[in-house]
């Protein structure tokens, strides 16, 4: 995941982007910012572990990620 903070021009990736999103979402998601006390290397390792297993961790019968249709894909290729 990549997140661009338009105000500061800062580019956040992996666990840093999640922490920023948790901050914006507020309670109860903000409680997950406790992971910010872990070293970045550990947080990013955990992020990659979850990302690699997102299909197994999702609810049975539910897609793990929304797949874009061809029209949406074409918009990003311009």
> And the tokens for 72?
């949406």
Predicted pLDDT at 28 = 92
Give the list of residues 6+ apart from residue 20 with CB closer than 8 angstroms, or none: 3, 5, 12
What residue spans define the domains of the chain? 2-76
Predicted pLDDT at 37 = 94
Predicted pLDDT at 31 = 92
Positions of the chain with pLDDT lower than 50, given as ranges: none
- Is 0.75 surpassed by the pTM of this model? no
| Cα separations in angstroms, 35 against 1, 8, 15, 42 | 17, 23, 9, 10
Predicted pLDDT at 44 = 94
Predicted pLDDT at 72 = 82
CA angle 34, 37, 42 (to 5 degrees): 105
């Amino acid at each position: 995941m990549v997140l661009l903070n338009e105000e500061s021009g800062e580019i956040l990736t992996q666990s840093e982007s999640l922490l920023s999103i948790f901050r914006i979402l507020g309670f109860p998601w903000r409680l997950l910012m406790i992971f910010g006390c872990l070293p970045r290397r550990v947080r990013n390792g955990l992020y990659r572990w979850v990302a690699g297993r997102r299909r197994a961790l999702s609810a049975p019968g539910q897609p793990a990620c929304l797949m874009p249709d061809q029209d949406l894909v074409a918009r990003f290729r311009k």
